[in-house]
Structure 1
Amino acid sequence: MNLRDLKYIVAVAETKSFVKAAEQCFVSQPTLSMQIKKLENSLNIKIFERNNKHVLVTEIGKQVIETAKRILQDAEHISILAKHEQDPFAGDFTLGAFPTIAPYILPKLIPLIKKKLPNLRLILVEEKTDILLHKLKTGLIDAALLAGPIHDESLIAEKLFDDEFKLAVATHHPLAEQTIINPDELTNQPLLLLDEGHCLRDQALQFCQLSGIDEEQNVRATSLETLRQMVIADTGITFMPTIAIQNNDDNIRYIPFEEPKPKRTIYLVSRQTNPRTELIKQLKNLCVNNNQL
């Protein structure tokens, strides 16, 4: 048994395919299958049930794979510790961000990181929150920019900033002349929100439920930019986080809400066990201390 074999069985379990796992591990499918078969024979167990259409994990296989994941994470931890000892601000670092913040913060953050941490190779991953949390907890990424609250004892969430929501309406909309918005004024207004799976949608819905505002059920967008264009087209109104507001939006009015203002809080989230604490601290400071972010 070796780490390579453990990587093979974890890849098969995650992809549900020997072919895809082989591609992921950069080996031929026969080689991967042979090594897994040898591992099963040495342990005298079946990790996978195989047929022409499906790959299923056996009950004992599930336990073996969970243990294999922990071993691989520990091995990676050892490697990171060694690199960290040589230069805590060098090497690869994978940072995740969710879609309604990545386009607005990463283009400003990346040049700062390159300037302050020239020996760091930053790898960026843009995914929805649930996927980023899974990748974070399984060691596939080092840290992530996420909206809180984060309820997981295995993770550390460092607050970066509050991102206030404003009401976005077309310039010719009846509400466009107002300087502040009371949520009661949005009753019966066609409110546009993002599609399922976006954390911004969940945060907006919480505010809507508290304020008695109904969502426009027939229209849902997959990005803030789509929502922005739909507002310009007078399809409806929406909530826009301040970080996404552009100065050249001449066709949209952004109106603040009365207190308590709806907002989301952005955190830099990492694993409790991540050894690169000094680097994560530097990244947090870059986000917090720079007025452009």
Structure 2
Amino acid sequence: MISIKQLSYAVAVEKTLHFKHAAELSHISQSALSTALNELEKQLGLQIFERDNKKVLITPLGRQVLTHAHSILEQVNNLEQLADSQRCPLSFPISVGIIPTICPYLLPRILPLLNQRYPNAQLNIVEEQSQVLLDQVRSGEIDTAILALPYPCDGLLTMEFWQEDFYWVTLKEQRLAHRKEITSGELNHCNLMLLKEGHCLKEHALEVCRLPQQIANQGVGATSLNTLIEMALGKLGTTLVPQMALEQLIGRHRGLSAVHLNEPGPHRRIAFVLRPNSTRMPSIEALISLGREALVQSEDANPGKN
């Protein structure tokens, strides 16, 4: 079988028109190069070079062989570059699913770092609920997803990179608004509003707080934390917000107060979810590192519990 090495040796002789110089260029002995080319000509059943003690000539058929050899070597080089770029993080577009209670609060932190470290990176962002994203990861429709744990991710690999607690958000005029901590028992009397069914943040809040079933069945219809904040501002009730979202949600609302939920934490864990045999591991690991760094920087700028 014709080998890539044989073709590269032939191209080296074409370039130098000298077997000794071609051998030096190929970092092998002259005898090894001659043996390889003799075997190549034997396999092809034609002569590529005419050679004597003084000169090397390329035969007419040999020129056609060398044209093909250049094309083959170029394609092999392209394949090697493709493999190298795959090993280099974020060299190819990557699709990332993110749940709604993380997406608008993580992206503004991570994207500036991404643009700085990997200016050519291409992220395709899909914002959906947890179960939809898990199905898309399993089917290969997206490469990875960022979810809040605990959540059943059977058959998939989870790579945790952040932990955080919940904060009770209420109007400052409320009786408990100026406390530093609040317990789940006290929330029973605070007209607590949570996201509608299907959002894992609601399940996490119910689990952490051990809230009664009437809260679980209380549907306010909100599908975003922004809506819950507006409802709290409108004196319709209070809500729970993850630490990651605090600054963005209530930073501009001076009439709101955030009180740490004094229950064993972390109240939720943030993780990348991917297929165990994913070929995008270097890129996902790079995103994990960026995500952790971005959240640490944000935490340093806005100190809080974590």
What's the TM-score once normalised by structure 2's chain length?
Answer: 0.64
Aligned to 1:269: 273
1:187–1:213: 8 Å Cα contact kept in structure 2? no
Identity %: 32
Aligned to 2:285: 281
Aligned to 2:95: 94
Aligned to 1:50: none
What RMSD, in angstroms, separates the aligned Cα atoms of the two structures?
A: 2.3
Which stretches of structure 1, 4 residues or more, deviate above 6 A after TM superposition? none
Aligned mates of 1:103, 1:275 — CA distance in 2: 27
Structure 1: stretches of 5+ with no match in the other structure: 1-79
Shift of 1:207: 2.8
Shift of 1:118: 2.4
Task: Say how many residue pairs are matched.
Answer: 213
The structure 2 residue matched to 1:260, chosen from 256, 259, 264, is 264
Aligned to 2:58: none
2:233–2:256: 8 Å Cα contact kept in structure 1? yes
Aligned to 2:67: none
Aligned mates of 1:129, 1:218 — CA distance in 2: 19
Aligned to 1:171: 172
Structure 2: stretches of 5+ with no match in the other structure: 1-78, 299-306
1:160–1:266: 8 Å Cα contact kept in structure 2? yes
What's the TM-score once normalised by structure 1's chain length?
Answer: 0.67
1:163–1:264: 8 Å Cα contact kept in structure 2? yes
Matched, 1:292 2:297: yes
Partner SS for 1:248: coil
In structure 2, the CA distance between the partners of 1:171 and 1:101, relative to structure 1 (3 Å rule), is same
Aligned mates of 1:130, 1:218 — CA distance in 2: 20
Q: Deviations over 1:146-165 (max 9, x none)?
A: 01135445321111111210
User: What does 1:75-224 align with in structure 2 at a 5 Å threshold?
Assistant: 83-87=82-86, 88-89=88-89, 90-208=91-209, 210-212=210-212, 214-215=214-215, 217=218, 219-224=220-225
1:207–1:262: 8 Å Cα contact kept in structure 2? no
Aligned to 2:61: none
Shift of 1:85: 3.5
In structure 2, the CA distance between the partners of 1:201 and 1:81, relative to structure 1 (3 Å rule), is farther
1:182–1:257: 8 Å Cα contact kept in structure 2? yes
Partner SS for 2:165: strand
Aligned mates of 2:232, 2:273 — CA distance in 1: 32
Aligned to 1:39: none
Aligned mates of 1:271, 1:176 — CA distance in 2: 44
Shift of 1:219: 2.1
Shift of 1:84: 4.5
1:188–1:213: 8 Å Cα contact kept in structure 2? no
